[in-house]
Amino acid sequence: MLKLIYRRLLMMVVMLLGLLAIMFVVANVAPGDPARLAAGPDATRDMVETIRVERGLDKPLPQRFVIYLGSVVTGDLGTSIHTGRAVLHDLAIYFPATLELVLFSIGLAIVLGIPLGVIAAVNHNQLADHIIRIFAVSGVAMPMFWLGLMLQWYLALELNWFPLGGQLDLMSDPPTRITGMLTVDALLTGNFAIFLGAVAHLFLPALSLSFPALASIIRVNRAEMLETLNRDYITNARAQGIGPLRIVAAYALKNALLPTLAMIGLRFGWMLGGTVLVEGVFDWPGVGLYAAKAAISSDFEPIMAVTLVLGASFMLANLLIDLTYAALDPRVRAQV
Amino acid sequence: MSDPILSIRDMRLEFDTFDGVYKAIDGVSLNVAPGEALGLVGETGCGKSVLTRAAFGLVPSPPARITSGEVLFGGRDLLSLREKQLRSIRGAQVAMIFQDPMTYLNPVFKVGTQLVDAIIAQQKGAIARRAARDLALEMLDKVHLPNPQRQFDSYPHELSGGMRQRVLIAMALAAKPKLLIADEPTTALDVTVQAQILDLIAELVSELGLSVIMISHDLGVVAQVCNRVAVMYAGQIVEDAPVADIFDNPKHPYTLGLLKAIPHPLRPVEHLAGIPGSLPNLYTPPTGCRFADRCSHAVPVCTDGKPPLMDLGAGHRVACTLYRKEHVDA
Ligand SMILES: Nc1ncnc2c1ncn2[C@@H]1O[C@H](COP(=O)(O)OP(=O)(O)OP(=O)(O)O)[C@@H](O)[C@H]1O
Ligand SMILES: [Mg+2]
């Protein structure tokens, strides 16, 4: 088991290097002159050139990449042009908000998706199954940002049930910063009113972000449950007189969860990418919004850094999923 | 003769499929006397598994539909019971073991967990986990599984096919049921292991005084274990007789063909060398004898109507026009 973790962490480093290399090339073939941008609109030609040399932008690309890697390793992710702060500092501010949003979203998708998939399979071709299937198909078909806009317009603007955007009401004081995730910090500091406010703000963006994942999880889990419920070991369990609850919730579900887990991992990746859109719609102060703003001003170092943390999050999540896989399936465990 | 322990009467079962209604079981009647070991033979797809499973509510519906019949067991008609009542009979009073030990154990639960779950279900919760565990270990010992304590904590993939079948037998017989349905319990195993498992079943059957339905397409297996044989063809029983009679004095042309098809009593039937042709289309089954178009003895009346199962005396019954009284007399 430890060997698996070790191997996977090593692989992660290699993959992150690859990711950075690709991003680095893309950033440098994209139009726009970073030296000019850094120097500001009023800079003279000489000033721009000075900055170019100062920042090493005159060196060949591979050499610059190595230099960049060196600074990344020491924790220096560069400086953001549009915030004027160290990128690492910005990430410390914005990443917890994204993490909170994404964890809440994937949690929502899992907690709703698995039971709904099971309910649909158990009621195969009956009313409940049809309703859940229609729901799932619509979820796969609907673009995330469009769903976000619709939810925002109807539930927030028309019905006023939820706040339009942001992380907290302007009136309320944020809790002491511990993890940077408002809901968690509010709970840790025992501030229940703030917690409720934070959850209310979190709800619509999380729903938008989780809906496609929820739909896929339902679909995969339903299909897997249907197949598993037809397996021979289920027939044997029924022949022993074992009751339906144990058969569905343990004997079948534990087997059906294995492919569902793979889908959860995949969808988590999509979700991380989706934060750029959803954070934009709901004005959620996370790295997605941060990266979007940076992209508009051709501010590459923040984009690289955001890619790095999102990539690492995705890989860590998949490591976690593989470990869960091994925990669920003794045959997988036997192989590692 | 005492009342049968299981009596299936005129059972009909259809599958609603995409291609139409598949009439898998057509008017089957079958009795199992207490202490009797009945062999159920017939080529693949003739309905042996479906018949015995459907009798105890184990064939999912849909697609299956039981359109007529009774299954009398313990004084009740099982076909009129609800799933919950059936569940209290399955496991506790009727045990089943199946063909492929590789697929009938759940791959993600320990052998011991599955045994304990089954035992608790069989006893309807009236047994503590500890006691169930002790019983499970005792059963593993009884089926001669080496090192029961270790196998108890193993996962199915860590066991060989023969060991898994022993686990399944231990599971099935833990509640000391009255009836055992063994659905080709040795087909998927190596020949040497087959003999061991058959011996084990025979040993436990006599020890527990079980009645048995032994399904097989291997007449050799049946000869070894059973005292009576029912021959099934295309969803119907065509002959039913004491085991010696089946071998020495077979009546139905299909039974004759089956016997001819086995050059060696331990080799399973794959190609019915004695019988050309294949099972009839059961979406639109023939109205007469279902075997008529493969039968070398067929006469025009064979296609006229379904021949009833006729009693030839001494517990020998056959469904074939050739043995009709008027026919025999003529
Ligand atoms: N769920 C189902 N839907 C449609 N047809 C089915 C279904 N289950 C079984 N059948 C059909 O019922 C017939 C009888 O099947 P059954 O499994 O009882 O055969 P069998 O005699 O046990 O054969 P084998 O010796 O191969 O085990 C087969 O032709 C099969 O195709
Ligand atoms: Mg079968």
Cβ burial of A124 (10 Å; 0-12, 13-18, 19+) is middle
* pLDDT confidence of residue B325: 65
pLDDT band at B286 (very low <50, low <70, confident <90, very high): confident
Q: To test ligand 1's pocket by mutation, which of B12, B13, B15 has the most ligand atoms within 8 angstroms of CB?
A: B15
Q: Please tell me the number of the ligand nearest to residue B216's CA.
A: 1
Q: Quick one: which atom of ligand 1 is closest to the CA of B53?
A: 18
Cβ burial of A334 (10 Å; 0-12, 13-18, 19+) is exposed
The verdict on domain B6-93+181-280 having CATH code 3.40.50.10140 is: no
Distance from the alpha carbon of residue B219 to the mean position of ligand 1, in angstroms: 20
Read off the amino acid at residue A247: I
Instruction: Pull the structure tokens for residue B252.
Output: 């139905």
Among the listed ranges A191-195, A202-206, A269-273, B258-262, which one has the minimum average pLDDT value? B258-262
Instruction: Pull the structure tokens for residue A292.
Output: 């979007």
Beta carbons within 8 Å of A130's beta carbon, 6+ residues apart? none
Could you tell me the CA-to-CA distances from A40 to A45, A51, A299, B39 in Å, in that order? 11, 11, 12, 93
Mutate to test the interface with A, among B100, B102, B104 (most CBs of A within 10 A): B104
Distance from the alpha carbon of residue B51 to the mean position of ligand 1, in angstroms: 9
Other beta carbons within 10 Å of B60: 14
Nearest to A298 by CA among A108, A53, A41: A41
Instruction: Pull the structure tokens for residue B269.
Output: 């039937």
3-class DSSP assignment, residue B149: helix
Question: Prior bond to B4 cis, omega within 30?
Answer: no
Domain ranges, ordered by start, for chain B: 6-93+181-280, 104-176
Answer yes or no: do B105 and A236 touch at CB < 8 A. Answer: yes
| Closest by Cβ to B88, choosing from A236, A241, A246 | A241
Please give the backbone phi and psi of residue B72, each rounded to the nearest 5 degrees, phi first.
Answer: -90, 125
A245–chain B Cβ distance below 8 A for any pair = no
Give residues 199 to 238 of A whose Cβ lies within 8 Å of B. 230-233, 235-238
CA dihedral angle for residue A175, residue A179, residue A183, residue A188, rounded to 10 degrees: -70
Helix, strand, coil percentages, rounded to 5, for chain A: 75, 0, 20
Residues of A in contact with B118 (CB under 8 A): 237, 240-242
Q: Is B235 left (phi over 0), alpha (psi -120 to 50) or beta?
A: left
- Domain contains A27: no
Strand order through the sheet with B211-216? B94-97, B179-183, B211-216, B37-41, B228-233, B236-242, B317-318, B310-311
User: Residue A120 is part of a domain; what is its CATH number?
Assistant: 1.10.3720.10
Rounded to the nearest angstrom, the minimum Cα separation between A123 and chain B is 12
Q: Please tell me the number of the ligand nearest to residue B232's CA.
A: 1
Nearest to B265 by CA among B225, B294, B238: B225
Answer yes or no: do B103 and A328 touch at CB < 8 A. Answer: no
Closest residue, chain A, to B85 (C-alpha): A241
Instruction: Pull the structure tokens for residue B248.
Output: 């020495």
Mean pLDDT value of segment A143-155: 83
Q: Quick one: which atom of ligand 1 is closest to the CA of B232?
A: 21
User: Which residues does residue A161 pair with via DSSP β-bridges, in sequence order?
Assistant: none
pLDDT band at B330 (very low <50, low <70, confident <90, very high): very low
Instruction: Name which residue sits closest to atom 16 of ligand 1, judged by CA.
Output: B47
- Domain contains A152: yes
Instruction: Indicate if the pLDDT at residue B230 is higher than 90.
Output: yes
ipTM of the complex: 0.89
Other beta carbons within 10 Å of B104: 27
- Domain contains A215: yes
pTM recorded for the entire structure? 0.86
CA count, 13 A, side-chain hemisphere, B148? 17
Residues of A in contact with B159 (CB under 8 A): none
| Closest by Cβ to A329, choosing from B104, B108, B158 | B108
Instruction: Indicate if the pLDDT at residue B268 is higher than 70.
Output: no
Answer yes or no: do B108 and A246 touch at CB < 8 A. Answer: no
Q: Using one digit for the tens of pLDDT, what is the confidence trace for A107-126? A: 999 999 999 999 999 999 99
Answer yes or no: do A240 and B56 touch at CB < 8 A. Answer: no
* pLDDT confidence of residue B30: 92
Rounded to the nearest angstrom, the minimum Cα separation between B161 and chain A is 15
Answer yes or no: do A240 and B91 touch at CB < 8 A. Answer: yes
Check if the beta carbon of residue A221 is closer than 8 Å to that of residue A260: yes
Instruction: Indicate if the pLDDT at residue B326 is higher than 80.
Output: no
Q: Quick one: which atom of ligand 1 is closest to the CA of B42?
A: 21
Q: Using one digit for the tens of pLDDT, what is the confidence trace for B191-208? A: 888 888 888 888 888 888
- Domain contains A84: no
Q: Which domain holds residue A175?
A: 99-277
Instruction: Indicate if the pLDDT at residue B316 is higher than 70.
Output: yes
Nearest to A291 by CA among A311, A277, A271: A277
- Domain contains A268: yes
Average pLDDT, chain B: 87
Size of interface A-B (CB pairs under 8 A): 83
* pLDDT confidence of residue B125: 80
Q: How far apart are CA A39 and CA B257, in angstroms?
A: 96
Nearest to A92 by CA among A320, A302, A318, A328: A302
| Closest by Cβ to B117, choosing from A231, A242, A331 | A242
User: Which of the 8 DSSP states describes residue A55?
Assistant: T
Nearest to B320 by CA among B233, B245, B260: B233
* pLDDT confidence of residue B328: 54
Among the listed ranges A38-52, A188-202, B55-69, which one has the minimum average pLDDT value? A38-52
The count of structural domains within chain A is: 1
Instruction: Indicate if the pLDDT at residue B154 is higher than 80.
Output: yes
Answer yes or no: do B108 and A255 touch at CB < 8 A. Answer: yes
- Domain contains A88: no
Residues composing chain B: 330
pLDDT band at B327 (very low <50, low <70, confident <90, very high): low
| Closest by Cβ to B58, choosing from A239, A243, A255 | A239
State percent of chain B over pLDDT 70: 94
Residues of B in contact with A329 (CB under 8 A): 107-108
- Domain contains A317: no
Distance from the alpha carbon of residue B184 to the mean position of ligand 1, in angstroms: 14
Cβ burial of B124 (10 Å; 0-12, 13-18, 19+) is middle
Residues of A in contact with B168 (CB under 8 A): 236
Distance from the alpha carbon of residue B48 to the mean position of ligand 1, in angstroms: 8
- Domain contains A209: yes
